[in-house]
Amino acid sequence: MIEKCVETTKHTPEDEFNALPDKDLLATEIKDLNLYDESHFENEKKIEYLKRLEDSASSNDKIINTESSFSEYKSNFILANSHGFSKGYKSSSFTASSVTVAKDEKSMQRDYEFSSRCHLKDIKNAEDLGMMAADQTIRKLNPKKIGSKKISIIFDKRIAKGLLNTFASAISSSAISRGTSFLKDKINQKIFSNNISIFDKPDLLKGVGSRNFDSEGVKTDTLKLVDNGLLKHYLIDTYNGKKLNLKSNGRCGGTSNLYFENGNIEYKDLLNSSPKSLYITETIGHGSNIVTGDYSVGATGFLVENGKINHPINEITIAGNFKDMFQNITLANDLEFEYSTNSPTMLIEGMVVAGK
């Protein structure tokens, strides 16, 4: 393999930006982030867990189909380079999921729930996971349509984190160096409202995205990417950093544990902040354009009136531009670290909804 690599380089055009990271940027210590669980879940126990999960998910007569799974993954990652760097760490993940289909006399709906953790004991209880998947599916039955309007949108946490992922793509050094991001040349400029801060924290204990160094061996420290609305950092790797004349900040391979700092408002107060709003629980399609900042996706969810979640809504399109959306975000104080990217429940005022 090494001989083939050497031969290949003889025929590869020279690239002045292609180089190893500076030696002083490489990680020198490996913290114990408690990312590895040596437990092994035997197949018989997985089957028993899934039976309980399926029984719980299908306990309501409106659930007509279920599909559940349990996976276990272990990794021993070691990285070495010509600067003498040679370090690694073990990690593990256990993931249980349930997809359910519900049907009544008027409609058929699908939804899901899953739990993924580094440690087996932290996986959600089978009965709870199944019930959550079923409840989320059943409540979507018999949806109604609404007309086109401008309205406040509340994004469920698992949808709000997708907006945060789009932000991460827009501040990646590859997009910035190519000039294909609407956030190019925005360092130290206000791109969010004043009360919004965003962190990327690689040393979170048991964090799904935690790591001691990036995929080049560069040490990773917590970055406050957005500080009270101001953009403070891009996500920089060695190659694109050289193009931008910036040093790597340990983000080759992307973010680690990315999250919005908790907001100051209770979840129920967020629901009650507008007389009428839409609560979005699912989006359809890839409608984020990081070049222009335009955002347009199909969506389903619920009508919220006077703080109460009412009937389900479907067949709508929500649209806006991130430049405006980021300035109009209000976050609840219900942040949980369920994934590698996490967000509290989010409200964005004045978005355009296209309906019937």
Q: What does the pLDDT profile of the chain (356 residues) look like in tens digits?
A: 999 999 998 898 889 999 999 999 999 989 999 999 999 999 999 999 999 999 999 999 999 999 999 999 999 999 999 999 999 999 999 999 999 999 998 899 999 999 999 999 999 999 999 999 999 999 999 999 998 989 999 999 999 999 999 999 999 999 999 999 999 999 999 999 999 999 999 999 999 999 999 999 999 999 999 999 999 999 999 999 999 999 999 999 999 999 999 999 999 999 999 899 999 999 998 889 999 999 999 999 999 998 999 999 999 999 999 999 999 999 999 999 999 999 999 999 989 999 87
* Short-list 199, 336, 297, 319, CA closest to 255: 199
For residue 89, give every residue at least 6 positions away whose Cβ sits within 8 Å of its Cβ, in sequence order, or none.
30, 33, 35, 36, 76, 77, 211, 212
Q: Residue 201: what residue type?
A: K
* Short-list 297, 177, 183, CA closest to 239: 177
Domain boundaries, the chain: 43-138, 143-356
Residue 286: what pLDDT? Answer: 83
**Euclidean distance between CA atoms 94 and 140, whole angstroms:** 29
Strand runs labelled E in the chain: 63-80, 86-103, 108-117, 149-155, 198-200, 223-227, 230-231, 258-260, 276-284, 294-305, 308-321, 329-331, 341-342, 346-354
**Euclidean distance between CA atoms 237 and 18, whole angstroms:** 11
The matching CATH number, chosen from 3.30.2290.10, 3.40.47.10, 3.40.50.300, 3.40.190.80, for 43-138 is 3.30.2290.10
Helix (H) / strand (E) element for 2: namely helix 2-10
Q: State whether residue 72 is helix, strand or coil.
A: strand
> Could you tell me if 198 and 341 are in contact, meaning their C-beta atoms sit under 8 angstroms apart?
no
Residue 250: what pLDDT? Answer: 97
* Short-list 145, 167, 181, 37, CA closest to 95: 37
> Could you tell me if 172 and 165 are in contact, meaning their C-beta atoms sit under 8 angstroms apart?
no
* Crossing angle of the two packed helices 43-57 and 126-138, in degrees rounded to 10: 30
* Short-list 262, 251, 153, CA closest to 197: 262
For residue 11, give every residue at least 6 positions away whose Cβ sits within 8 Å of its Cβ, in sequence order, or none.
none
Residue 49 backbone dihedrals phi, psi, to 5 degrees:
-60, -45
Residue 53: what pLDDT? Answer: 97
